[in-house]
Every structure is written in C-alpha cells, then in structure tokens.
A and B are shown apart, each in its own frame.
Chain A
Amino acid sequence: MKTLANKRLYLILTVLVVGGSLAALVFSSFTGALVYFHTPTEAVAKQRELDGKKIRVGGMVQAGSLAREAGTLKIRFLVTDGNAQIPVRYDGMVPDLFREGQGVVVEGTWKSGQDFSADTILAKHSEDYVPVEMSEQGIAKSKESLLKSLK
C-alpha cells in the first residue's frame, strides 16, 4: 500500500510541477507584455513615467509635418490630438492608409529628449468607421511637401 501511496504522490507532484511551470510561464510573460495606449496629451504629461517603455500613441498626423530623409525610407512626423504634439521617427514602409492629416497609432518607445521612435505604424480602418482619408488635392499637396523635403 505504501508504494501505491508513493506512486500517487509522484504522479500528483509531476502534474503540479508541469502545471505550475506552465502557469509561471504564462504569468511571467504577461507582465511586461502589456502596451498601454496614450493620447499625445497624456504622453506628454507622463513623459518621465513612460520613459523607455513600449507604448502606443494615437492621434493624427499633423498636416505639413511629414518629412522624409532623402533617398531612405526614414520619415519624421508630428502626431497630434489638437492639444499636444509628439515628434515621431520611423524607418520603413508605411501602411496604405497612412497620410498627413489622418488618424494613426504608433507603437514604440519614447526616450526623454529624443523623438518617439516607432517600430510599428498602425493605420486603423474598420468596416463602420472610416479614418480620415485624403481627397485628390490633399494627396497632391502632401506629395508637394514631400518633394520639397527631398530637395
């Protein structure tokens, strides 16, 4: 009987160890994986607190602020909510719906004294709520300003 009890204990211990390590894995990965969303106003207000943390900032690409470094895909623009502005840097191709004057969410880190460095740009579009797009003239105008910045 003793061996049977021992075996039960052995089994339960194995289950507990496996289950426990899985739970530990899930929860330890969870902390630190959360990315908070802020408006530019909030981000500016809490800049010290957010320093170096991965965050998302949502706002609008300020019209006329988009500048491209000549010959590369590096861009710099201002994200605004009409109240505060954050300078953002990004290197790479932007999504289809990314335009000046359009809603955007950028994900990345903001170190104090530097530009917000974005790893990802999300241009939101859902079925029933259309983010601001550009009219023909708008597109022409932003191209003009791009060309100016390239010169």
Chain B
Amino acid sequence: MWIEIAHFSTLIALMLAALLLIAPLIGVRWQRVVWIRVARQAAFMICALLTLASAGLIASFLNHDFSVKYVAEHASLKLPVFYLATAMWGGHEGSLLLWTWMLSLFVAIAAWKHWKTHPVSMPWVLSINGGLLLGFLLLVVFLSSPFERLLSPPADGRDLNPLLQDPGMVFHPPFLYMGYVGFAIPYAFAMAALITSQGDSEWILATRRWTLFSWAMLTIGIVFGAYWAYYELGWGGYWAWDPVENASFMPWLTGLAFLHSVMVQERRRMFKTWNLFLIITTFALSLLGTFLVRSGVLSSVHAFATDPGRGVYILIFMSALLLFSFGLLTAKSDQLRETPQLESPWSKEFSFLINNLFLVAGACTVLLGTLYPLAIETLSTAKVSVGAPYYNKVFIPIMLGMLALMGLGPLIPWQRASLAKLRQEFLPAGIIGLLGMVVAPLIGINHLSGAIATGLILFVGTTHLTDLLRNTKTRMSRESLTAPGAFLRLVTRNKRRYGGMLVHLGTLVMVAGFVGSGLFQEERDLFLAKGDSMRIGSWSLTLESMEKTARRNWQADEAVIRAERPGEATLTLRPQKRVYSENSQPTTEAAIHSSWREDLYVVLGDGVKDGVWAFRIYRTPLVAWIWVGSGIMVVGVFWAMLQGRRLQRRAP
C-alpha cells in the first residue's frame, strides 16, 4: 500500500520536473511571469511529493513489507527499528531516492528564499534544477527503482549488510549527500549568472550561505565516514584513500578553494572566471562522487551493485551536464571583465591565489590517483592500484603549505601591505613557530614533517590569538567595555571573519590529531591465552576470559581484557568477533578506549586452539583530536553562516 503511494507520487514528481525544466524557459522567452510562477509552484509540489515517496519507502521498511524487492534485500525481521528506518539508504536505489528528495527540498527552499531577491536569475535557477531533478527521477523511476515488487514475497528479508549496521554508517550518507546536493544551488546560480551575462558578484552573495552549508555538511559526512572506518573496520586507521573516500574528498577541496576565492571577487572584483570554474567543478565532482560509487566504474569496500544500463545512462547525464556547463563557461567567459590587477605578492588576494593553487593541486592529485588505475585498466589489460604512500607523500607538503598560508592569510591586508607592518605583525608568531620546530624533536616528535607541523600549528595559533586579543583590546578602549563584553561584541559583529578563524583553529586541532595518529601509532600483533599479559605504551593488558554473547541478529565471541595504567582506574575492554545470522560473514567489533591523550584499540582475531586467540592492539595518540577538531570547524562554519549581507554594503 505505502509503496504504491510512494511510487505514484514519484511518477507525478517526474512529470512536474519536466514542467520545472520547461516552464521558466517559456516564461523568459515570451516574457510571461505566470509561467515562472507555475515553475515555482511545481518546485514546491515536487518537494512535497518526494517527501511522501521517501516516507512511503521508510514505512514499507517499518512494516516489513518484503514484497518490495528493495526491502527484502536490505532488511530482515530481526533488524532493530533504528536500522530498519535507516536501511532506506542502505542500497543503491534508496540512496538515489534520498539524493533526489534532498535536491527537491533545497530547490524548494531556494525558490522560496530567493524569489523576491533574485528575479533575474530565478527562472534559470529553476530550470537548471528542473533538469537535474528530471535526470535523477528518470534514473529512480526507470533504471534503479526502489519500488519494484516481488511476485512471491519471501518470509524474511536478506538483512542489511552488517558493516552498515552502525550509527556512523547510518549518518554518513545523508550528510555526504546534503553536501553534494547543496552545491547544486550555487551551481545553478552560477550558470544563471553566465546565461544572463551577469557574472558579477550577485550570484556569489546569493549563494554564500549555500556554499558554506554544503561544505559543512560535506565535512560532517566525510568525518562520519572516517569515524565509521575507524570504529567498524577494525584496522586502526580512519582514512585509506579508498576511491569512495577520494570521491567525497575532491569536492571538499575545490569547495574549500571556492569559499576562499569568492572573497576576492566580493572585495576586489577579481577571479570571476576562476570562481565560476571552481563552482562548476565542485558540483561536477559531487556528481562524480555520487556516480563513481553508484555506477560500478570503480569498486571498493562500499561500492554497490553494478548494472551496465545504469552506467550508460549516468554517463550520458554527466556528459550533457559537463559539456553544457564548461561549454557555456568557455563561450561566455570573455564577457567577464577582470578590472583590477594583482598589485603585490604581499596582499590577501595573492595569498588566496596561492591557497587555491594548493587546494586545486590537492584535488588534481586525488583525481589522478583515482582515475589513473581506471585508465590503465581500460587501455591495457593490466590492473593497477595507487597506494596510500602516494597520497601521503603529496598531501603532507600540501598540508604544511596550507598551514603556513593559514597563518599569513587572515592578517595580511587587501591590495598591498608594507613590509614593515608585516614584520611587526608576524615576527613574534614567526619566532614562536620556529622555536616550536626546534623544540619539537626534544619532546619526542622526532620526525621532520611532524616537527614542522608542530611549529606551524604554534605559528597559526599565535597569529590568530594575538589578532583576537588585539581587536578585543581596541574595542575595550574604544567602546569602554569589559573584556568578555568586548570579545562578544567583536565576534558577533563580524561573524564571518571570526567564524572563519574558528574553522582555522579547528583545523589546527585536527592537524595535531593527524600528526599524532599518523606518525606515532604503535601496533602489536600477538597471541593471548587466558591470564596472559602484554604491554603497549604505559598500558598493561591482561586477557581475563573469553565469553560468548548474542543479540537479536548476531552472535559473537567476546574477549574480556583488563587494561591498567599506573595512576589510573582499571578498564575493561570487550572486543568481539560477530557472526550475523542472515549473513555468514564474520565481522570484528574493535574495543576502543578513547581519551584526549591516546586511543587504545583492541581487535580480536581468530581462535587458534583452545583458549588461545590472536589479537591486534593499537595505541594511537591524539585520534580524538580529529573528531573534536572537525566539530570545531563545523561550529565555525555555522557561525559564519549567521552573518547576513550587512557587511557587503560597506564594500565599494
């Protein structure tokens, strides 16, 4: 019953999407506003219909309606309610529906919020998004339908992949999709600006919050993925440069470049073509991220079903979109006038230019590493993989360079800075940073890039904090406020600047986490029998006993391990090896003790003979800093989003 409602409303949404594509074009061609109004209503209705469709699919899951093929494939009677509801995006078909639903939601919000403020762009924004929705709905309805029925419904479903039965994996896709989909709105505004030859800054102001939002969502999605990999996959790491991870990392990098370079266009009317290029690329990479995983062009840990028909359709869709966007960009870019020129390398705009070079180089690195194996496989019979060492080798210098720029960028003035002023501004921080680099090896950071990173973290931290301190003081004396009052006034007045600074501070925390976990992880493989002990770091671990446990849909062997450290309370860790009943694959559940200093991570291996089991134990310093740092970053982005457009009026 529910599934028919869902199917039917999706079909109507499909027709309305075609209307959304065409109606604004008619309206613009014959100057009839009514057609554009119709399109706006269509956007709202598509959103309502797809909400109903998603709800219908979730309802079918909750009702255990195994006559729906998608439900039978991704759920079972034993599956807990929470995973039952979220199994909607446990597979290819449902994820695409989720993607489309989010797109329709964002389009509706854009049609509502920007209707009055952007009358010129609006028809084009609606039409372009209509095209996107149509493309996705065709895929959902005809090529990968989650609404298909089974003629003879099974008594029980096949269950959700046990690897996906984890809170981290439940939240990873929706956030990632919100990030991907969110870029569709700035993209549509950018295309509208190109079409209407208004490539000036209006579209950038209109979409500032959209881009910030999407980038924040992408950050959350990526971090959830990393967190999931860390907690669920049991290999002690969080980032494997897997093609699927790379696919989400590329739009993150170009989106970040875009967030920085738009500021130059706002203030100095430069980089116009470049910004258009960046947003198109970011959205194209978002689509690539969706499809790379879904089309079966690449396979990896969480790649989904492959189907050649689907692949061909996706390829045609991508080609149409890419050729249209980049074709339009090359055709129209000559109309964009870049009046002012860069004046000095000691200026904010130049630091943004270098920042963009670094970020785009990073994106190219990942793209090359992801596509090259595909190229080799396609053009010859060899199979090849690009390992993590390649990415690490390239990304460590890029990260260090970005850190250095992060210290300089926010404080350098626009246009041109005097060298004397710069010296005064950066000398103390520079000295602290250099001291940090020298001292780092003495306190155990005996690694070149680790020491440099430590120094740079100190440098950036000092520049940001002195800036805060100085501006607070100015306000204190000028507006005769108390210190906290002045600080509050400062950060609420210019939310964008201080939100950005908070993001930078979050990044520093994250980088500290990368340095600690990347360079100083300790790993031990060994056998333990009951009563055996081992040492790792300052911990002493003892295997107390082996037990068997079971839940509704799995059974497990569980080791009970006592972990002690001088001067601290004793812990009990319980790593498991689970076997899910619908699915005979064994999975490991690592036992993790997390603290601000380090994580203790215990994985249970195979039982070798009676009472003797293999264990892998990691001691990873500062991993928790990565999660905390990303949280700070996201808070910073949201703070910056609160800033209205008030600041812009002051710009020339």
Contacts and interface: CB of A to CB of B under 8 A. Distances in A.
Indicate, yes or no, whether A interacts with B: yes
Contact of A73 (B304, B341, B397, B526): B526
A14 B345 contact: yes
Contact of A128 (B234, B305, B389, B609): B305
A18 B608 CA distance: 55
Interface stretch (A22-30, A79-87, A109-117): A22-30
Given A92-B525, A126-B299, A147-B609, A10 B345 contact: yes
Contacts of B357: 15, 18-19, 22
B344 interface: yes
Contacts of A133: 584-585
Contacts of B588: 96
A11 B458 CA distance: 29
Interface stretch (B52-60, B105-113, B378-386, B407-415): B378-386
B608 A146 contact: yes
A25 B525 CA distance: 35
Nearest to A22: B361
Contacts of A25: 361, 393-394, 397-398
B interface, size bucket: 35 or more
A125 interface: yes
A33 B390 contact: yes
Contact of B365 (A26, A36, A97): A26
Contact of A91 (B302, B393, B525, B606): B525
Interface in B570-617: 577, 584-588, 603, 605-606, 608-609, 614-616
A45 interface: no
B361 A93 contact: no
Interface residues of A, number: 42
A34 B386 CA distance: 5
Contacts of B358: 22
Contact of A35 (B300, B387, B609): B387
Contacts of A125: 301, 585
Contact of A93 (B299, B342, B605): B605
A48 interface: no
Given A25-B397, A92-B525, A36 B384 contact: yes
A29 to B, nearest CB: 4
A97 B301 CA distance: 13
Interface in B61-96: 91
A76 interface: no
Interface in B384-435: 384-387, 389-390, 393-394, 397-398
B354 A18 contact: yes
Given A68-B608, A97-B586, A127-B161, A35 B384 contact: yes
A29 B301 contact: no
A44 interface: no
A93 B384 contact: no
B642 interface: no
A35 B342 CA distance: 43
Nearest to B526: A73
B606 A94 contact: yes
Nearest to B608: A146
Contacts of B615: 93
10 contacts: A10-B345, A25-B394, A33-B389, A34-B376, A34-B386, A92-B616, A126-B303, A128-B306, A133-B585, A150-B608
Interface of B: 91, 161, 234, 299-306, 341-345, 350, 353-354, 357-358, 361, 364-365, 368-369, 372, 376, 382-387, 389-390, 393-394, 397-398, 525-527, 577, 584-588, 603, 605-606, 608-609, 614-616
The 3 closest A-B pairs by CB, nearest first: A33-B390, A37-B383, A22-B361
Interface of A: 7-8, 10-11, 14-15, 18-19, 22-23, 25-26, 29-30, 33-37, 54, 56, 68, 71-73, 91-94, 96-97, 107, 125-128, 130, 133, 143, 146-147, 150
